[in-house]
């Protein structure tokens, strides 16, 4: 028996990277998955991999900044499987032009907040009515919203990225508000806060060894995380195992938030 048997999940940004790892893992744990991504071909490929392996998945092309497209993605879950138990807001951007408050342009700031904050809000706005009607909310362990934030929402980033860091702080606040509003209606909301993981988003900051070491020195475990390790936390938050957890920030960060630095 999988840990997510009979659950239906929408995972944004799941055409590649950590989101694709999550889509495959959720399906392996028994969930039916809407693989949602701005790259429709990538989403279709991940969904096809899942179904060819015996899992349940459909693809949806969505720009999370487009409210109509977001609503269509949520509707695809309920029309295909009749319910929505889990919303995993994984989609996000970290533009290369994001730096200090002085260096960062308005265009970079607006793009980052449009995707990471407004896009996440639009996904919650569309999904919550369906989730409140799910069997999980009506009498189970609770429907589950997983909003991906970051360890930088708790700490300043060693490499300046002011728009990204501020946007992820907003994600934490939004998550707490959602949890407070809907806790008595069978809906849970938690933030997943990954530490440094060598996804494409982080790799661009690791172009030389000095930049790599500048990050590693702050991590007590002395290594970057793996996408699978972050998804382990998401499976927990999506499952009934986290039935008494809401409004929280789950840090999976190799200890980076526990110490300012780790000298040799």
For residue 110, count other CB atoms closer than 10 A to its CB: 12
User: Is the Cβ–Cβ distance between 164 and 112 less than 8 Å?
Assistant: yes
Write the DSSP assignment of 95-141 as a string of letters.
-TT--STTT--HHHHHHHHIIIIIIHHHHHHHHHHHHHTSHHHHHSS
Task: Count CA atoms within 13 Å of residue 234 on its CB side.
Answer: 32
Measured distance CA(108)–CA(168) in Å, rounded? 15
- Asked whether the beta carbons of 125 and 189 are under 8 A apart, the reply is no
Answer yes or no: 182 catalytic: no
As given in the structure block, the two tokens for residue 233 are 């936390």
3-state class percentages of the chain: helix first, strand second, coil last, to nearest 5:
50, 15, 35
* Neighbouring C-alpha atoms within 13 Å toward the C-beta of 221: 14
**Could you say which of 88, 164, 244, 260 is catalytic?**
164
3-class SS of residue 172: helix
Instruction: Name 146's Cβ contacts closer than 8 Å, sequence gap at least 6.
Output: 86, 87, 88, 89, 190, 191, 192, 234, 237, 238
Residues labelled as active-site residues: 164
């Amino acid at each position: 028996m999988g840990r997510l048997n009979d659950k239906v999940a929408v995972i944004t940004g799941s055409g590649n990277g950590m989101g694709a790892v999550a889509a495959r893992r959720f399906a392996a744990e028994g969930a039916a998955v809407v693989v949602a991504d701005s790259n429709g071909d990538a989403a279709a490929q991940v969904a096809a991999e899942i179904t060819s392996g015996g899992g349940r998945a459909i693809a949806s092309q969505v720009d999370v900044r487009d409210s109509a497209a977001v609503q269509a993605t949520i509707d695809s879950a309920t029309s295909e499987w009749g319910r929505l138990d889990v919303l995993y807001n994984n989609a996000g951007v970290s533009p290369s032009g994001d730096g200090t408050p002085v260096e960062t342009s308005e265009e970079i700031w607006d793009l980052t907040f449009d995707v990471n904050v407004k896009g996440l809000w639009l996904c919650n706005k569309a999904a919550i009515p369906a989730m409140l009607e799910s069997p999980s909310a009506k009498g189970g362990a609770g429907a589950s919203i997983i909003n991906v934030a970051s360890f930088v929402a708790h700490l300043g980033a060693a490499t300046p990225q002011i728009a990204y860091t501020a946007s992820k702080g907003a994600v934490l606040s939004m998550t707490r508000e959602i949890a407070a509003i809907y806790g008595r209606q069978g809906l849970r909301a938690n933030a997943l806060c990954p530490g440094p993981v060598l996804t494409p988003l982080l790799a661009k900051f690791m172009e030389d060894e000095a930049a790599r070491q500048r990050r590693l020195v702050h991590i007590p475990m002395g290594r970057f995380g793996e996408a699978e390790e972050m998804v382990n936390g998401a499976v927990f938050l999506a499952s009934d195992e986290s039935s008494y957890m809401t409004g929280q920030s789950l840090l999976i960060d190799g200890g980076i938030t526990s110490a300012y630095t780790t000298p040799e």
